[in-house]
C-alpha cells in the first residue's frame, strides 16, 4: 500500500474517534482561561492599576508574552495527542490488521507523521486563537498595545505553529517507543508538569544549571517561539537559545524519539 493510502487510513483512524476533538476542546478552554487570567494580572500591572506598592511590568513585549500562552502551557496537548495516536493502537490492538494490510511498517509510521503534521497545524491554530482572543481583548481594555499589526507578532504565530507540529511528532515517537498507554501518558505528564518545570525553576537560582536546562524540550520550544510566560523576569532568559537553535533541538528530540521507536519497538511483534 502506498504512503498516500496509508495516510488516508491513519487520518480516518484519528478523525473518526472523539479523542482529538475532546482534547482540542480542553486545549482551547485551558489556554483561553490561562491567557485571560494572566493577561488580566499582567495588564493591570503594566498599566499601574494595582497600586503604588505593586511591581510594574513593562508594556513593551507584554502582548507576545501573553500570546505565547498557547505554547508555554498548551504544548502538552499536541504531545499527548501524538502519544495517544500510537499507544491507542497498541492498547486496542488495531495495529495487527494495519500491519497485515501494510506489511511495510515504516510506511505506517510515516503516515502517522503526515497526519501528525496536519493535526499539529489544527491544534496550533486553535491554541493561537484561544490565547490571542482574550489576551488582546484585555490589552485593549487597559489601553495597552496588542502588537497585532506588527510583522514580528505574526512571525511569532508562525513559530508557534512549528512548535505544535514538532510536539505532535515528539509524542508519536514517545508512543512508538513506550507501547503501554498508561505508562506513556504518566511519563509525559510527570516530565512536562513536574520534572522540567522544577529544573527550570532551579536554574533561576543556580546559574550553572542553565547550560543544561536550556536544552530541555520545553525550554527549546520556548526558545523557538521567542516568548514564554515562564521566562518573565528570569535572568536566565537572556542566555536562552536562538529561536532556530531551539527549533533544531526540538526537532532533534522528535527525530531521536521516532528513530528509537522504530528501531526498538515498532519492529517487534504485535500480539
Check pLDDT > 90 for residue 236. Answer: no
Check pLDDT > 60 for residue 79. Answer: yes
Tell me how many degrees the CA angle 164-221-114 measures, rounded to the nearest 5: 30
Question: Rounded CA gap, 271 and 269, in Å?
Answer: 6
Check pLDDT > 70 for residue 32. Answer: yes
**Residue 213 and residue 242 in contact, taking contact as beta carbons nearer than 8 Å:** no
Does residue 271 fall inside a structural domain?
Answer: no
Tell me how many degrees the CA angle 28-256-215 measures, rounded to the nearest 5: 70
Does residue 11 fall inside a structural domain?
Answer: yes
Tell me how many degrees the CA angle 126-175-162 measures, rounded to the nearest 5: 35
Domain limits for position 43 = 3-266
| Number of domains the chain is built from | 1
Residue 174's Cβ-count burial label (10 Å; 0-12, 13-18, 19+) is buried
Does residue 18 fall inside a structural domain?
Answer: yes
Residue showing cell 491554530: 125
Give the pLDDT confidence score for residue 233 in this predicted structure: 58
Give the pLDDT confidence score for residue 187 in this predicted structure: 95
Check pLDDT > 90 for residue 31. Answer: yes
SS3 160: helix
Give the pLDDT confidence score for residue 11 in this predicted structure: 95
Does residue 35 fall inside a structural domain?
Answer: yes
Q: Residue 44: CB partners within 8 Å, gap ≥ 6?
A: 50, 142
Does residue 236 fall inside a structural domain?
Answer: yes
Length of the chain: 271
pTM to 2 decimal places: 0.94
Does residue 227 fall inside a structural domain?
Answer: yes
User: For residue 176, what is its C-alpha cell?
Assistant: 512508538
Amino acid at each position: 500500500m502506498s504512503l498516500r493510502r496509508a495516510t488516508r487510513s491513519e487520518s480516518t483512524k484519528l478523525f473518526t474517534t472523539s479523542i482529538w476533538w475532546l482534547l482540542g476542546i480542553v486545549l482551547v478552554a485551558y489556554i483561553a482561561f490561562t491567557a485571560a487570567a494572566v493577561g488580566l494580572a499582567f495588564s493591570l500591572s503594566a498599566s499601574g492599576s494595582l497600586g503604588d506598592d505593586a511591581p510594574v511590568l513593562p508594556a513593551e513585549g507584554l502582548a507576545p508574552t501573553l500570546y505565547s500562552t498557547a505554547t508555554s502551557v498548551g504544548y502538552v496537548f499536541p504531545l499527548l495527542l501524538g502519544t495517544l495516536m500510537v499507544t491507542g493502537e497498541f492498547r486496542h490492538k488495531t495495529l495487527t490488521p494495519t500491519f497485515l494490510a501494510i506489511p511495510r511498517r515504516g510506511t505506517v509510521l510515516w503516515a502517522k507523521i503526515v497526519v501528525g503534521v496536519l493535526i499539529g497545524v489544527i491544534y496550533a491554530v486553535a491554541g493561537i486563537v484561544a490565547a490571542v482572543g482574550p489576551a488582546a481583548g484585555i490589552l485593549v481594555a487597559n489601553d495597552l498595545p496588542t502588537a497585532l499589526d506588527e510583522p514580528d507578532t505574526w512571525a511569532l504565530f508562525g513559530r508557534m505553529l512549528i512548535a505544535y507540529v514538532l510536539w505532535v511528532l515528539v509524542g508519536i515517537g514517545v508512543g512508538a517507543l513506550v507501547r503501554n498507554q498508561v505508562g506513556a501518558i504518566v511519563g509525559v505528564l510527570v516530565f512536562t508538569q513536574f520534572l522540567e518545570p522544577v529544573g527550570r525553576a532551579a536554574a533561576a537560582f543556580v546559574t550553572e544549571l542553565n547550560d543544561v536546562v536550556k536544552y530541555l524540550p520545553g525550554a527549546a520550544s520556548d526558545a523557538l517561539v521567542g516568548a514564554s510566560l515562564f521566562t518573565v523576569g528570569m535572568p536566565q532568559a537572556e542566555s536562552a537559545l536562538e529561536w532556530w537553535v531551539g527549533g533544531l533541538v526540538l526537532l532533534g528530540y522528535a527525530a531521536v524519539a521516532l528513530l528509537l521507536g522504530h528501531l526498538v519497538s515498532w519492529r517487534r511483534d504485535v500480539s
